[in-house]
Structures are given as structure tokens and as C-alpha cells.
Structure 1
Amino acid sequence: MNLYLIMKGTVVFCVFLVVLMGVVRCHTSSNNEVKVDSKKILESNIIKIKEVVRTVVSSDTFPRTISPGNKEWECVGVRDWCSGFWPGVLWYAYEASGDAALKKEAERFTASLKEIAYTPAMDHDIGFQMLPSYGNGYRLTGNVEYKKILLAAADTLATLFNPNVGSIHSWPFKPQYPHNTIIDNMMNLELLFWAAKNGGEQRLYDIAESHAEVTMKYIVRPDYSAYHLVSLDDKSGAFIEGKAHQGYADESMWARGQTWGIYGFAIAYRETKRKDFLVTSMKMCDRFLERLPEDGIPFWDFDDPAIPNTPKDVSAAAVAACGMLELSGLVMEKTDQQRYYNAALKLLSILSTDKYTCGDENQAILTHSVGHMPKNSEIDVPIIYADYYYMEALLRLKKIEQDKIVE
């Protein structure tokens, strides 16, 4: 939903990238300025998305991943945590193109997710399911039915809040953790913040703020890396342990988790104006940037001892680019604005090369993402949320380019 925070200025980088099929325009000017032609990249992506639409017929199945050697998306059902990203990709494609046929497809897939708002919450992922779909749909169309469903979804998500702990119970289905909170959950708070501003109760804002505070206290470590999961006492809220779950080890720095924190705390600051949330986002971002490998794309976990012979995670880079663009519009110092904007642009320029795009190989836009390494699941493959956040970041850049023309 967050596409339009704008930062002004000149973006400076040393260019080492190649041109991909005329889609990415990266060149060196007299001041070594890197340019990413978001309009052309989006146009190319939209062509591919339209081709996929013809093959994904059933509106209650949603693209999620493509296994090695396959060309077409493998789909999941409504209750999968990734179900919202495909309708979200369609809404972004419609936003970029104005194509009525894409709008119709976005509406069709979005409608299938309605049940999530009105059935008991299974886990924290309601935000991931409803914001890309109904959230973008409402933003782009003003459909009052979408607003009603979003408000209901926020109320459903709020049922997982434990006031003794001060946070949402992320994974109720994991009984080994009395009350668990995961870093991913920071991204779902936006649904609660939005609802509180759009007709929902104040308690939704309070729940979101409290959850961010607990996450900041227990998940974010002193060096501004993050646990994936913390287990907390469900009666007292006391810290029990921090766990890796999807990372290499409990104390390692799982790349995508770090980017959920960067983006999530930036959103929390935007909504609350709490300076400690902004500082947390900035510090997590700085930690991420200082540990990036030479080619600029993170390995799936920064502490995997197999580095460099271990997979990269393009999805983490795409989420990070969105979080950095968000940050660049929130920080006050111009040097920080420029720094985060530059870093986001560099990530996008790298992602847009043939090393990380799929081309004609399969139906996805980006490749080389990692889902769950410890479970050997979705390793070094396209995953739908990488495409979603890549589209979001490109739309942000397109808006910036348009505003520069107006100036």
C-alpha cells in the first residue's frame, strides 16, 4: 500500500551493470549517476503478467513458487500466507498500465480472499493476505465493500493480541512456544494502523503500537540484527528464548527477517511518529547495508558459514528496497534521505539485470529467492513475494520520476 513517499535529490553511484534487453537503462553520466528506467521495466513486467493471467484460470488458486526446471507458477489456496501477493501484483500492474483487463483480474482474485476477514485467525499473516489484495484494491478504486472487508480483517487479526504480553500471537499452532512473536509480524501491523484511521476502533492502533514496542524490545538485538522468533511467557510477557526458525542459527542474521524489520519499523514510525521506531528502522537498515556482499544482493543468511557457496535471497533485496524508499521519505537529514534512496536504487538496478531476472525461462519476474532453507523448501527459486515487492519499489520510482518531470 505504501507507494508514494518521495525524496528529492541526485542519486550517485558507480555503475557496473549491463543493459538487459533494452529494459533497464543504467548508464554513467558525468557525475556517475545510476538511472533505472522504472517505466520501461514495468512495461516489460506487465507483458509477462498478462501472459500468466491466461494460465492461472481458477480465482481461488494463487501463484507462489516455481520449482527448478518448471516454467509455470505452482499455486496455493486461499489460506496460504502468500495468497495475497498475486492479486497484489495484478493491482500494481493495473496501476502502472491503466489496463481494465488487469483490473478485472485483480478484482477476481481479490474477491476470493474475503473469507479470511470473517473466519477465526489462524496466524498473523492476515496483513500479508489482505493488504496487497484488498488494501491496494481500495486505494486504487475506493470500493466501499473493500473498506468494509479490510476493517473486518483488522478486527480478526486483533483477536490474536495477548494483553498480558503486549503483542500478537504470531503462530498459535506452535504449542512449544507459549506465546511467540516473529519479526515478519511487523509488516502486518499496517492493517491495524490503517483500520484505526478509517473507521476502526482506537484499540487497533494501540495493539499495533504495543506489538511494535515488544518486538523492538525482545526481537531486535543490541547490534540491530534480529531473531526470527521470540518465545514469551503468555502470563507475564517475560522473555524465554530467541530462535532462528528460518535462519541459519538462533543468533544469526536471517536476511529477509532483517528487511521485514527495516520496512516494518519504518511504517510503525510513519503511523506513530515515535522516534525510537525510526531509529530502530535506520539502525537495522545500516546493519543490513554494512553486511551486504560485494555484488549487493544478500545471501539468505548473513552468517551462513558456507558463504559464498550458499544461495542469495532476492526477495530480501526487494523488501529492503521498499523499506529504504519508505525510510528516505521519513528521515529528516538530507544526507540520510539521499543515503537510503541511493541504496534502494542500487538494489533495484542490480535486481533488474539478467543475473536476477527470469526473462523467458519461466513465468516469474525475479529468480534466486529462498523461502525456508532449514526445511529445504523453495531454495534458489522464484517466489511471488519477491515479484510483489519489486513491483512496489518500481512504482515508487516511477512516481518520483514523474514528479521530477513536473518540477
Structure 2
Amino acid sequence: MAALRRILCGGKSHVSVLLRREFHKSSPAALQVTVRDALNQALDEELERDEKVFLLGEEVAQYDGAYKVSRGLWKKFGDKRVMDTPISEMGFTGIAVGAAMAGLRPICEFMTFNFSMQAIDQVINSAAKTYYMSAGLVPVPIVFRGPNGASAGVAAQHSQCFAAWYGHCPGLKVLSPWNAEDARGLLKAAIRDDNPVVLLENELMYGVPFELSEEVQSKDFVIPIGKAKIERQGSQITLVAHSRSVGHCLEAASVLAKEQIDCEVINLRTIRPMDTDAIEASVVKTNHLVTVEGGWPQFGVGAEICAKIMEGPAFNYLDAPVYRVTGADVPMPYAKILEDNCIPQVKDIIFAVKKTLNVI
């Protein structure tokens, strides 16, 4: 308010503008919430809402989670609802899947999804296929969640994106949140779903704050699985991304706007089932498409989007081939300069847009 006093003689319009700013800073309607805290809130509310929900994984209880996503939950809900497990993904994932078959709603945390490879038989052959093979008699309401994709300086065995891996398998729903709203709404939807759901978080996004509206803060707020969101309206080219790459697309769109290139940015949110209708509607409007992802190019999420557009009505509206921006087709190097060149950057998206529009 000191700034307000300093400009009291500066005119009515200046005062009203500053008053509005001060009001919005203190207004309870919108909060700055990190992705980590959004996930924590969703877990807290769903554990409280349904006594069948429980969380298990390595260090999720007494240590508050390797990434502090489960901070405070063990103290609040106790050993029966928040359980530390041995370092055995195959073992505790099997326990979780069996619990889901028996009527509980487990949330199974992998310290990173790279370690989910140790439990791949439980995730695919047990969780994903049982609902179908039992003719709908045995639902498996389980959530597999944890950090996915490249982090920083952790090399090849800790830097894979599993969106395409799990998106390939019928029986799973696969979600990939970007911001705090996505994290909160998608996790709550996943916990309430009767199907096995894979929630692919991003380690580098955990500490990033985003504004949450009053609506999103509601305990009843969920994001429908299978619906993408247009983060930025545009008319000349469509950028489709998921997870951290959505932010890169928005940054690239802001830079390109200064050059009178108008980008529409779509946040996929859900990898499977994919919101093909939203992508097609955007392509019909913009006539150009660039896909962006952190995973490898071969058989990737972008490749699937290309195929869907090729096979559908939107193909006739394309004025240029679809361009994919992906991670490099190599195991992730450890050296930072090589790592940076293996992960899609804003400059790579800008180049792809200009190439697609033939303005280079």
C-alpha cells in the first residue's frame, strides 16, 4: 500500500488501477499453487472422501514422499492408508493390483516411471486386461502415478517418457498433466475411475506455481478424462503438446506473436483416450499442425497424432505436412550440453512453426 500513497496525487485512474492490483493480490478467489501442492491437495481430499482409497510406494509415508507429493498424509491418515513399501516394484504393484480387484482404490506411486518397468507384467497383464477379460465383472480401480520423462542430469536410465509405452496398451487410461489445474483435476478423476489409470507427472514441474481459480479449488472439481484444453487460441498453426512441452509451446507462441504468427496451443492432458476431435477442429481452422513431446520420435505420441489426422477428415484441410518436434532418438546423455540438445527447446518449436509455414 506504500506505492498507493506515493501516487495519490497522480490521478484517479492511477489510483483505481493500483487498487485493483492490491485487491487481486489479496483476493482469496485465486491462489498460486505449485504442481506438487496441487497433487498433495488432491490426494488429501480423495483419501478423506473415500475410505477405500489408500496410497502405497517407496518412502511415501514417514519420509513424506521422495518429491514431497505425499507430505503430511501419513501423519493425518496413518499406516493403514499411507504405506511405505520395500524397494520392490513388482511386489508392491502386485499387492496394489490385487487390492483393486478386491474392491479397494489404491494409488501406487513409482519413485519414477523408469522403475515401473520392474512391474510391467502387473501393470499390463494384470491391471490393464482384467476388466475386459472378466467381461466387466472385475473392475481394477487403481492409479499408477509418479514422475515421468527427462529430469536434469540423471542420464539414460532415469530419463524416458512412457506416454507412448502405456498409451499403446488397451485397458489403460493414460494422463499427462502440465500445470497445477491439470494435476489436481486429473488425479481426482483418476482416483474415482473404475479403470486402471496411469498418471505421468513431470519432476521438473513439481515446484512450478500456477494460479488456481476458485472453481478449481473446489473439492468437487475434476477434469474429464479424454478431453484436451485449448490453452491459447490462434488462427495460423496448431501446436499440440502434453506435460512440460505445453509450457514450451506457449513460450514459443508468445515469441512468434511478435512476428505476427498466430499459434493455437492445445494441451492434450489425456494420452489415451486421445481427444482427436479437438485436434481435428483446430487443424480445420488453422490448416497447419506441429506436435511437440519430450519422448522419442519412433512410434511416439506425435506419430499417433499424425496417423489420426492422416486417416480423418482434417487431412484435407492441411496446407503443409505435419511436423513433429520430439526428443532425440538416442538414450539420454549425462553431459548437460548434450542433454539440452536431446530435449525439445523453445527454439526448436519456433523453427518447426516457421518451417511448416514456409517463412524461414
Return the TM-score normalized by structure 1: 0.27
Kindly name which structure, 1 or 2, has the bigger radius of gyration based on alpha carbons.
Answer: 2
What's the TM-score once normalised by structure 2's chain length? 0.30
RCO greater where, 1 or 2, for CA within 8 Å and sep 6 or more?
Answer: 1
Counting helix residues as a fraction of each chain, which structure ranks higher? 1
Higher strand share: 2
